[in-house]
Amino acid sequence: MGARATTAVGSETRVREGVLVTREKIIQFARDAGVSPVNDQQIKFEGPMWLCLERFAALVAAAERESCIEDCKKIAEYMEGDFYNGCVDCMDAISKRGRA
Residues 19-60 have pLDDT tens digits of: 567 888 888 999 999 999 898 889 999 999 999 999 999 998
Residue 68 has pLDDT above 70, yes or no: yes
Q: Tell me, what's the pLDDT at 66?
A: 87
Q: Tell me, what's the pLDDT at 53?
A: 95
**What percent of the chain stands above pLDDT 70?**
79
pTM: 0.68
Q: Tell me, what's the pLDDT at 49?
A: 95
Q: 3-state class of 82 per DSSP?
A: helix
Q: Tell me, what's the pLDDT at 13?
A: 53
Residue 96 has pLDDT above 80, yes or no: yes
**Cβ atoms within 10 Å of 72's Cβ, excluding its own:** 21
Identity at 46, one-letter amino acid code: E
Q: Which residue has the higher pLDDT, 99 or 33?
A: 33
Q: How far is CA 48 from CA 25, 35, 38, 88, in A?
A: 22, 10, 16, 39
